[in-house]
Structure formats: structure tokens, C-alpha cells
Amino acid sequence: MRMQKEDIAMYVFPEEMRKAYEQSPLSFIYYDVVDGAAVPLLASDGFCKNTGMPRESVLRWLSGGMYERMHPDDVGVTAKISREFMKREGPYDTVFRCRIGKDYQYIHGFGQWQRMPDGKELAVICYLNVTKTKENMVTVAESYDLFRRDQFYSDPLTGVPNLNYLHEFGNERADILRLQNKKPTVVFADVYSMQSYNNQYGVREGDALLRLVAEALKNAFPDALLVRGAIDRFILVTDQESPEALTAGIERANRQIKAEAKGVTSGIRAGICEVGEGQSIIEALDHARHALRRINNDMTRTWAFFSQAADDQYWKERYIIENFDRALENQWIKVYYQGITRVRSQKIASFEALARWVDPIRGIISPADFIPTLQHYHQLYRLDLYMFEQVCREIRIRHENGMALVPVSINFSRQDFDHTDVVARMNELYEKYELSQYVGKDFFIVEITEQDMAMGAERFREQLKRIQDNGYGLWLDDFGSGYSSINMFSQYRFDLIKFDMELLRHLEDNGGVNRIILRELVTVARELGMHTLIEGLEDTDQLGFVEKIGCELAQGFYFHKPAPLDDMLFRLRGGQQAKPCETSEERTEYRKLWTEEGDT
């Protein structure tokens, strides 16, 4: 079990002994071993003088780990010697390069264990700067093989530690920050559009940019552990003084990168995650990576903090996309039919086919979750054609069980037409299930949202025209949802306009303005020869209003809740009376009557 801060008891020197040791001109540090980590307790005046830092800064630096200022090529050997010494498995006697001021200095460190008056044993390590004694330095360096290149922990391009170093020492760095009552935090930074930069300015300038990024991050976070990750990624292990201070550091680094880069660059973007108690650096790094992914291509954002809610959403999306093929193959996605009622007769005039994912592991997965996910990964066309095929397949079942056959609308997306020939696929499925013996193609209605229509290009308009030319119906869905443009009706010809449910839900808002809007829109639609439908109808007051303004059709829980065909068949076989559906003759008569009323 990880030791808690309040449980850790570090050695306390007697006051006279502390003063004597601290005033020594010799260069040494006393260490205690706490939870397997070396914790500095006392620094001599000689050591402080050699480093050029006050005692408090020395102890703070050493608490953060001397490895951060050690030359990356020397870390591997020195870390191994240190671990063995602290475990009493070997001596401490080594030479390494350590950055003191602006330059690396050669330091000879040798240590021993000292028993204190109360029996406690502490490690005392003496550090001698041997940079100026070249002959001695070479002799010692050769004996410890310091000139052997240790690339295992070092990134050769930027000179900073690499991922091997992070795996080996990252958790130790986080533990030390906790001992200092700080919040260890991982920052996962990515150079934006690095490949484009290389393509424009060449690989040599790309390498120079990476070195600049490393320099800028070191300047912005001088006390942090900076690691070069894969390709154009950098990782910081730092303390989160405050979210504002952390993001300000990222912004400082970005300013330097943009100012000093030879080419045009957008700098870095970063995901940020605090390392929780009991959490490893690698786990926090994974969370920070997910946070960065949320930024995507949003050029207005430079950083994002990890949140559990966002992570849960990410894994929900991953489940959806990774199990989508199985959902189609095993028919976990089912057609739920919701009746569309003719206001005048109160009979079902048609159905809308709604997708419902009934998962054997997660239960009901909401369309609000799986539809945006499939759209994001450009898989929505597969869902929409699957839904069309399921409706085709179930027509024969409905017919054989004596159920009324009324038109069915299926939702399609503008994106569908970018990935497949929708009309050709619909025709293939119509022929595959030999539907001409039951219904004509006008039985099927394609619903396209107003938002999709607003974003459609010329090719999209041509595809919609093909739908009607092939005999299928075409409805405009969600009109009034925020993208409304009357100009749309000069470019497209729809059989019906479906008004967004929010218009009906907020009839009384702002002095009842939606009442006026809906009334006038119904009138305009009639003048243009388009039928009208209002969705979201839930009570008798709304029904009275819809009837008063002359809207032909309504859809909502007041009339009919969505249900799969199996449920409808179960109720039918159980002797329950189904909601009445209008016949084809009645449908023809109502349309004729609608036309005649419009002419008067």
C-alpha cells in the first residue's frame, strides 16, 4: 500500500549537529530513505557554494530529483548505482555530468551509510566538482565508462529524456512532488500540423522546430521533467500550482515557438491531467492524451483538462463504433415505428422508422449517443440503409399478419450521399424483397433534415431529385430548428414539411410568437403545394391549435409511442385493438380534399 504523507516520519537532526554539518566547507548531502525514495535532509555550505544556490533551493532541487539536471547520457548508469546503494546492494562511487548554471559540470559522487546517535542510519554522499582537474576527470571517467553513449534514456535530437526515462523515473517524480504537498500533473503536448511543417520547410527545419519546442517548454517549466515522446509529442511532469499558472506556461511556450520558428507554425496544443493518488504516470498520460484528442481541429483552443465525464463519453463512443458491425449483423438495432396521425380523422396516416439500439451488454443505447458517433466516423450511411432494409423486410410480415400497410418515412443524412449511391441501393432493396406485389415506391419516404439541406451542394440536390424521379417521397425534417431559410423552397421541391417539435413546445414563449410563425408557415406551405406535419404533440391544447391552423398531420406521444413490430404483433395476437390506420382510398380522398380547399 502506498504510504500517505501524514504517515511518513523523516529523521530530525539534533539542533547542534544540524548547525555543525550545515556549516561544513565540505560538499555533502544527508539523505533519508522514505518509501524506497531518497529524500534530502541536510545540505552543507560547501555543497551550496559549489552549486551557487541557497540551501532551501538546493533541497528543493534535490527533492525534485537530481536526474532532471543530469546529462541524459549519464542517467542510466547513475540511477542504477543510486538504487543499488539505497537498497544496500552496492557502493555509491560514480562520476556524472550535472547542469550547474548554464553548463554541465563533472561531479564525482561517493557515499556511505552513517549511524546517528539514536541508531538511525542515514546516507551521506559527498559531491566533488572535478571539471577543472582534467587529468583526474579523464581517469575517473574512463573507469566508470562515462564516454559510452547511453541512448536508452536520451532523445538524441532534443537532448531531453525520452519515454524510457519516463517509464523508469516518472512515478518517482510524482511521489516526490506529493511529499512536497504538490499536485503532480502530466501535460501531453503535440506540435500542431508537424507533417505540414516538414512538407513546407523540409525535415531539417522540422527538426529545428522540435528542438525549439523542447527549449520553449524548458523555459516555461524550468522545474518540470520534460520528456520527448513519439514523433512530435512532448510530455511534462510538473506540479499544478494552479490551472491558470499551468495554462499560462503553455501559452508562454507557444509565444516563444511562434516568434522564433523560421517557418509559420501554430505551435503546440496540450492535454492536461492531474496524477491521482494511486494512479501511475502512464495512466495519467493516457488521460491527458484523451483530453488533447477532444480539441481535435478546433483552432480556438490550445489546451484541455481531462475530465471523467469526457473520458466516459470517449469510451462510450469507442464501444459504439467497435460494436457497430456486430449490432447490424445480430440486429441489435431495431426499427421502432411511431405513428403519424391525420389530425382531421385521428387515424394513422403513416409511420416514421426510428432506430433503437438494444445492446445485450449495455441495454438501451440512446440515439442521441450512437447517431452522432456514427456520423462523426462516417458510418451513418450504413445505419440508414440498414433501417431502410429492415422496413422492406418487415412489409411482408405486416402483410401476412393482416396489418395495414401505410407509408413509412426513414431518416437519411446528407453524408449518406457522399459514401454511396443511395437511390441505387434503395432500388436494389426494393427489388430484393419483391415489394411491388405489396406496395409501390411511394410507400417509402426519405426524410432529410433542414440542417443537411442548408449545407448541401449541387450534387446533393441532384441526388434528392433522383429520389423523387424514382417514385419515392421526400420530406423536409426539423424545419424551424435553427437553420431555417425560406430560400430553400426555391431550390428544392418537397412533398411535405415537418415542423420541429420545439416550435410546438414553446407556443406561449415571447408572447406566443410561435403561434403566429406556425400559422403563417402552414399557409405558405399550402400555397407552395407542400403538405405539413408538426411533431412533438403531447396534449389536447396543442392538438386544438394544430387543428385550428389547418396542419394536416401530427406526431407525438399524445397519439402514439414508438414500438417495434414484435410488440405490435404481440398486441394484435393478444386480441388488443390496433390504432386505426387510413386506407389508400382514404389517403387519396384526403389529398384530393386538401387540394380543393387550397384552391378556394
Strand ordering across the sheet containing 37-43: 37-43, 28-34, 121-129, 103-115, 92-100
pLDDT tens-digit series, residues 209-243: 999 999 999 999 998 999 999 889 999 999 877 88
Strand ordering across the sheet containing 233-239: 225-228, 233-239, 184-191, 268-274, 303-305
What is the average per-residue pLDDT within 97-107?
Answer: 83
pLDDT number for residue 143: 42
Q: Which amino acid is at 173?
A: R
Res. 78: pLDDT tops 90: no
pLDDT tens-digit series, residues 535-558: 999 999 999 999 999 999 999 999
Res. 394: pLDDT tops 90: yes
What is the average per-residue pLDDT within 192-203?
Answer: 92
Residue 234's SS3 state is: strand
pLDDT number for residue 4: 37
Residue 403's SS3 state is: coil
CA dist 554 and 544 (Å) reads 11
Confidence band, pLDDT 50/70/90 cuts, at residue 600: low
pLDDT number for residue 133: 57
pLDDT number for residue 77: 85
pLDDT tens-digit series, residues 403-457: 999 999 999 999 999 999 999 999 999 999 999 999 999 999 999 998 888 776 7
Out of 33-37, 324-328, 482-486, which region has the weakest mean confidence (pLDDT)?
A: 482-486
Domains of the chain: 5-143 (3.30.450.20), 163-306 (3.30.70.270), 315-599 (3.20.20.450)
CB 158 within 8 A of CB 165: no
pLDDT tens-digit series, residues 252-300: 999 999 999 999 999 999 999 999 888 999 999 999 999 998 887 777 8
pLDDT tens-digit series, residues 562-580: 999 999 888 888 777 778 9
CB 473 within 8 A of CB 495: yes
Confidence band, pLDDT 50/70/90 cuts, at residue 534: very high
Q: Give one DSSP letter per residue of 257-296, joined into a string.
A: HHHH-SS----EEEEEEE--TT--HHHHHHHHHHHHHHHT
pLDDT number for residue 599: 62
Confidence band, pLDDT 50/70/90 cuts, at residue 147: very low
pLDDT number for residue 128: 87
Query: What is the rounded radius of gyration, in angstroms, for the C-alpha atoms of the chain?
Result: 36
- Listed residue (118, 137, 114, 141) closest to 126, CA to CA: 114
- Listed residue (13, 6, 84, 88) closest to 43, CA to CA: 13
- Percent of the chain exceeding pLDDT 90 equals 56
What is the average per-residue pLDDT within 148-160?
Answer: 74
- Listed residue (121, 129, 116) closest to 18, CA to CA: 116
Q: Mean pLDDT of all residues in the chain?
A: 88
Counting every residue, how long is the chain?
600
What is the average per-residue pLDDT within 36-49?
Answer: 89
CA–CA distances in Å: residue 153 to residues 44, 167, 208, 408 = 31, 10, 21, 64
Tell me the sheet residues that pair with 99: 104
Q: Give one DSSP letter per residue of 539-571, joined into a string.
A: SHHHHHHHHHTT--EEESTTT---EEHHHHHHH
Q: Kindly report the CA angle at 60 between 128 and 284, in degrees rounded to 5?
A: 120
What is the average per-residue pLDDT within 1-18?
Answer: 64
Contacts of 23-31 spanning 24+ positions with Cβ under 8 A: 25/49, 26/126, 27/126, 27/127, 27/128, 27/129, 28/124, 28/125, 28/126, 28/127, 29/62, 29/124, 29/125, 29/127, 30/114, 30/122, 30/123, 30/124, 31/86, 31/122, 31/123, 31/124, 31/125
pLDDT tens-digit series, residues 167-178: 988 888 888 888
CA dist 495 and 531 (Å) reads 6
CB 131 within 8 A of CB 108: no
Phi, then psi, of 497 in degrees rounded to 5: -110, 130
CB 415 within 8 A of CB 451: no
CA–CA distances in Å: residue 298 to residues 246, 295, 510 = 20, 6, 35
pLDDT number for residue 145: 40
pLDDT number for residue 146: 39
CA dist 90 and 425 (Å) reads 74
